[in-house]
Structure 1
Amino acid sequence: MYQDVLVPTDGSDGTREPLSHGLAVADRFDATVHALSVVPDGPFGADGEAAIETANRAVERVDTEAQQAGLETVTAVERGVPHEEILAYVADNDVDMIVMGTQGRTGLDRVLLGSVAERVLRLADVPVVTVRSTGDLRVEDATAAETIAREEASHEGYDDVDVRDEPHRTSASWIVPVEADGDSLHVHVDAVSGEARVAGSGGPD
């Protein structure tokens, strides 16, 4: 029934539950997962490389989760008015369903994400599933994420584990770059559950 499922993401906490729901739908119908992040123009827009980097991390997170679930993925980063770019992507890529969040956790994120979801719901020609974020964060700072990442790498059998760069958070998950026994790895730490997994390597020899 559904062959292409779009999960718009801005990397905020409010996209965690929609991502899980979108992957479940895609898995049920063996659909391709499309991850789209839009860097907004206008008064709330963000300029510079930092905004593009955040958008790339957001779609990378969806791609990682989808691959872990054995699903095909397509990722894209666009710049413009978010709801317009989402609707244009749907039309250009024959998307069958949109799964998206209705709010960020606080303040401006809540207002902007809610406004985008409302416009997409009203204007889309395909089914739109909206998912409200409900999870509170357990891992709120980079130091805690680093500690969990070290423990997870050690649990996987690595002995010499060093954090090689500042952890960054997207979609309620921390991504912690580490150097372990000569391997460059990423440890993904779920900010809600505190669970972690090592990505980018099959494990130590």
Structure 2
Amino acid sequence: MYDDVLIPTDGSDDTRRSIEHGLALAAQFDATVHALSVVPEGPLGTLENETATPAAQRAADHVAFEARQRGVDVVTAVEQGVPHEVILEYTDEHGIDAIVMGTQGRTGIDRVLVGSVTERIVRMAEVPIVTVRLADEIRIDDEDEAERLARDALEERGDDRGVPLAGDVHRISGTWVVPLETEDGPVDARIDGVTGAVSFGPVDE
């Protein structure tokens, strides 16, 4: 029924649930996930700046990481434009069978923007839309706590607790990413902001 499932993401905490739902749907139908992050432009959007595109790439890469953890095929894309137009165009161009997305984005104007984007997608898309409204409460909301959990998990694996940070600690879609330099090379420790569960993976490019 579904061969290609699109998960638009801006990396906000509220996308955590939509990513989970999208990946579960893809796994059920052995579908490919398309992780799309749009750098908005226009009078209501967050205009391009030196941090916008890297942040969008991180958001798409996070979906890819979670997909690989579940054995789901995934492709990523970062595009710039009017969000709902980009999502609809991507849907048509890539033969998307279903879209799974949240109803809220980041705080402030972007929260309003993403709600508006979802509403337009629901009205205009010609494929099934799954909207996810519920957000989880982030329990791990402090960068220092996330780093401590990452180092504790490394110690449990037998790695040196004193490993240095290899980049900036950041939160993406409700997950803390703590880049660490270990004896075996750099790794990203990923701490689920809701459950506190820690996993390790390759460093984001």
Q: TM-score, normalised by structure 1?
A: 0.93
Tell which deviates more after alignment, 151-160 or 103-112: 103-112
Residue 62 (1) aligns with residue 72 (2): no
Structure 2: any 5+ residue segments left out of the alignment? Answer: none
Alignment of 1:119-158 (within 5 A): 119-158=120-159
Cα distance in 2, alignment partners of residues 185 and 51 from structure 1:
23
Shift of 1:166: 1.8
Shift of 1:105: 6.0
Q: Where does residue 10 of structure 1 map in the other structure?
A: 10
Q: What's the C-alpha RMSD, in Å, of the aligned pairs?
A: 1.4
The Cα offsets for residues 107-164 of structure 1, whole Å up to 9 and x where unpaired, read as 3333111111000000000000000132111111211111111111112221252222
The Cα offsets for residues 144-190 of structure 1, whole Å up to 9 and x where unpaired, read as 11111111111222125222222011111111100122421100111
Cα distance in 1, alignment partners of residues 2 and 177 from structure 2:
31
SS of corresponding position for 1:164: coil
Cα distance in 1, alignment partners of residues 135 and 54 from structure 2:
26
Q: Where does residue 186 of structure 1 map in the other structure?
A: 188
Equivalent residues of 2:136, 2:194 under 8 A apart: yes
The Cα offsets for residues 91-115 of structure 1, whole Å up to 9 and x where unpaired, read as 0000000000011364333311111
Q: Where does residue 72 of structure 1 map in the other structure?
A: 73
Alignment of 1:45-56 (within 5 A): 45-56=46-57
Cα distance in 1, alignment partners of residues 129 and 184 from structure 2:
45
Report the CA distance shift for 1:73/1:4 in structure 2 as closer, same or farther (over 3 A). same
Equivalent residues of 2:9, 2:59 under 8 A apart: yes
SS of corresponding position for 1:39: strand
Sequence identity (%): 51
Cα distance in 2, alignment partners of residues 195 and 161 from structure 1:
20
Equivalent residues of 2:146, 2:176 under 8 A apart: yes
The Cα offsets for residues 51-100 of structure 1, whole Å up to 9 and x where unpaired, read as 00000000000000001111111110110000000000000000000000
Equivalent residues of 2:102, 2:118 under 8 A apart: yes
Structure 1: any 5+ residue segments left out of the alignment? Answer: none
Report the CA distance shift for 1:196/1:185 in structure 2 as closer, same or farther (over 3 A). same
Q: TM-score, normalised by structure 2?
A: 0.93
Q: Where does residue 27 of structure 1 map in the other structure?
A: 27
Tell which deviates more after alignment, 61-70 or 166-175: 166-175
The Cα offsets for residues 27-51 of structure 1, whole Å up to 9 and x where unpaired, read as 0000000000000001222322210
In the alignment, residue 200 of structure 1 is paired with which amino acid? P
